[in-house]
Amino acid sequence: MENRRHIDLKTPSGASAIYNNDLTSLNQSDEEIRVIHLASGSDGSFIECTLHKISLKSNPAPKYDALSYTWGDATDTREIILNGYVVNVTHNLFLALRRLRQKEEERVIWVDAVCINQLDLDERAQQVDLMRKVYSLCTQAVIWLGEPPEQATPTFPMHWFGDERDDDSLEWLWNNFYDYATDPEFDTTDGDTVDWVFHGLANIRLLLTGHLSDQPLFADFTGDSFSYPTGYSRYCRSLSKALRPFYKNPWWTRVWTVQESVLPPKACVHYGPTTLDFLFLLDAFATLAKHVLDDCCSKFFSSSDLNIRSALGRIGSKIVNIRNLRNNQRDGSVMGLWETLIACHAREATDDRDKIFGVLGLVNSWPVEPISADYKATVEALYRQVTASQILENSSLVPLHLPLRKYAHQNLPSWTVDWTAPHGYGSQLNTYQFGRDIYKSFEAGGKQPCRPVFSSDQQVLQVNGRRCDRVSSVGRMVPAGSPAKKRKAYCDWFRMAQIHRCPSKSYVSGCSYFQAFWRCLSWNILMIMSEDPCTKESMRQFDAKASDEEYYEAFLSYSKTSRSSIFHPKGLSKEDRKAVLKFDPTFAPADDQAWGQFSSLAFRAEQVIHGLTVNMVMFMTDSGYIGIGPPQTKVGDEVWCLFGGSIPFVVRSTGKTCAVRKGETETSLWEVLGNCYVHGIMNGEIADDENLPAQTICLG
């Protein structure tokens, strides 16, 4: 190493030495990319690799693996040899190359950090435009999730297939449970005795077997011939602790890794010395999701250890959109830019432009001019372009259904989505991903056509609609987290809507105020499970046309089971509860009610209510409407039904005026805060009311 020249790829001279020569400079018309040939070697030897050019147009297609990983801390680096030079790469990439290196043969891998000249903005943009081909044509994606912590290092390398080839490993797991129960000398506190990473992945593998009642995580099997190494509760805690570094790896949060795991024909996960077929992981959590929502298993899941529910929930939430996108790619479903951005909304990027550019490889339908990567464009201009093009392309205000609160780019127009808003920030990001199909159930914008007009600088959006009402009171925001905190907010909403005074009072649309209240909580939606006619898999759907009896049974089931229910013993006060039970005694829970143990109906109802109310507020209007809207809603805001929108919007006057076209009379400028559910106006009752004036409103 001493005799080799050190260069820095972050400097123009260093990058030029590696990338600007006949052997490595790229021909754009031939769709050339660079790959590294990773030389064979043992654990103690230096990592050596050389760059080679290949054409994605070549026939037969080139053979290479594509590495999917995160760069890691840019200041924590290690040395490797690249094209004869000593260069620094991040520690995480160094660890990945060390694990992937073969002892006898070289390995061909595409690695973005070294295969793309990161200083050349034009090359970066051109290579980003090739990402769909890079990952679609690779032999496989290699997903690197890092090394487990030393205290959780697996005792032996192994691979999980997700099929009958895992049977010996699963048999070994069950035999260990027998050993724990029958050998009094077995030291279960010895870290060398219990391989917790193996136990964690083995139990995930068991999810594929189906019913939760047959699995040791969801039913305590302790008996004469079965025992957990540390007892059931401690076993679950140890498992969730062992899995934490696995699902907390930043790979699960980055936007680029979605297409890197969706597009390849197959993918293999590397976690230290352990590897697993990525498809098995996707299938395991699809199976879990199905059984959790079915009558067969919902009770076992809801009563299982909280640590396990939390760990599995976190992994499942990171996997669901990857699986959906992968299925869409395989069955040829049309994937436009907007649908793809929504699916990847919670993912993060170092460069805010990559929130858009990082998903372009997943898009297979461009009704208008495709967006290409351009690292010379500003973030604000790019985000305005994306939202405006979607509105114009579909003559629809669907983009405004997304959470509109701003985060890193506060100066964006209110109608523009700030894609940098982090996971769970202030508005219902999870809600939209959880129930974006819900928005298709409503017609609050009525039958009038949408005729959007943008100002020349793309700062103002002019649309038409009808005003519903003014917000007169606002309740507290429902927080994420404990059921107790949610319950407290729901009780606050109950009193704000004055249900406790007279639950039978007639609501604006004709039902009782109590009924309007609980229908608001669930947005008058039922979650149902059905079978996908193509894949035969269980899928979640939302029903906004169910009978009154079905809605009532779902809310009643939730109310007498969920710990967040206002009818929980620590919910409504004695006086408030008495008023409701006098109106409808069916809501009185049994003295021995088992709170937190759900039927499938109750569990699905809770999922809907939490999904549509967390990080939201309830409000009332001057005319007595009850609604649920964005957390920044305040008294004086207005509810409008805009033509082209499926649901109503909360808007606020900015106190300013504007003219969309030069020479036009200036009109008031409004800020759109977000969408809302208002009971009684969701099917065009306001938007199609010819007795109300249709008005033009300018959103800035």
Report residue 40 CA to chain centroid gap: 38
Inform me whether the pLDDT recorded for 188 exceeds 60.
Answer: no
Helices (H) and strands (E) in the chain, counts: 21, 21
Q: Which of 71-80, 303-312, 529-538, 641-650 has the lowest mean pLDDT?
A: 529-538
Structure confidence at residue 531 (pLDDT): 58
Per-residue pLDDT tens digits for 108-165? 999 999 999 999 999 999 999 999 999 999 999 999 999 988 766 666 789 999 999 9
Q: Strand pairing of 649-658 and 667-675?
A: antiparallel
Inform me whether the pLDDT recorded for 1 exceeds 80.
Answer: no
- Stretch (H or E) spanning 140: strand 140-144
For residue 683, the one-letter residue type is N
Report residue 334 CA to chain centroid gap: 20
Report residue 145 CA to chain centroid gap: 19
* Of 602, 596, 544, residue with least CA distance to 569: 596
Per-residue pLDDT tens digits for 217-246? 998 898 888 999 888 998 999 899 989 999
Q: How many CB atoms lie within 10 A of CB 387?
A: 25
What are the tokens at 453?
Answer: 């007009």
Q: Is residue 625 very low, low, confident or very high in pLDDT (cuts 50, 70, 90)?
A: very high
Over pLDDT 90: what percentage of the chain? Answer: 71
Per-residue pLDDT tens digits for 233-287? 989 998 999 899 999 999 999 999 999 999 999 999 999 999 999 999 999 999 9
**Burial level of 313, CB count in 10 A (0-12/13-18/19+)?**
middle
> How many Cα atoms occupy the beta-carbon half-sphere of 308 within 13 Å?
27
Structure confidence at residue 495 (pLDDT): 96
What is the overall mean pLDDT for the chain? 91
Inform me whether the pLDDT recorded for 430 exceeds 70.
Answer: no
State residue 162 phi and psi, 5-degree precision. Answer: 85, 15
Residue 526 CA to residue 293 CA, distance in Å, equals 13
Residue 455 CA to residue 416 CA, distance in Å, equals 14
Inform me whether the pLDDT recorded for 605 exceeds 70.
Answer: yes
Q: Is residue 387 very low, low, confident or very high in pLDDT (cuts 50, 70, 90)?
A: very high
Average pLDDT over residues 510-514: 95
The residue among 23 and 360 whose pLDDT is bigger is 360
Structure confidence at residue 428 (pLDDT): 39
Inform me whether the pLDDT recorded for 195 exceeds 50.
Answer: yes
Q: How many CB atoms lie within 10 A of CB 178?
A: 12
- Stretch (H or E) spanning 143: strand 140-144
State residue 613 phi and psi, 5-degree precision. Answer: -120, -25
Q: How many CB atoms lie within 10 A of CB 385?
A: 15
Average pLDDT over residues 458-468: 97
Structure confidence at residue 429 (pLDDT): 36
Structure confidence at residue 432 (pLDDT): 40
Structure confidence at residue 294 (pLDDT): 82
Inform me whether the pLDDT recorded for 85 exceeds 70.
Answer: yes
Structure confidence at residue 17 (pLDDT): 92
Per-residue pLDDT tens digits for 436-453? 567 788 999 999 999 999
Domain ranges in the chain are: 12-138, 150-331, 337-468+630-699, 478-614
Structure confidence at residue 189 (pLDDT): 59
State residue 391 phi and psi, 5-degree precision. Answer: -65, -45
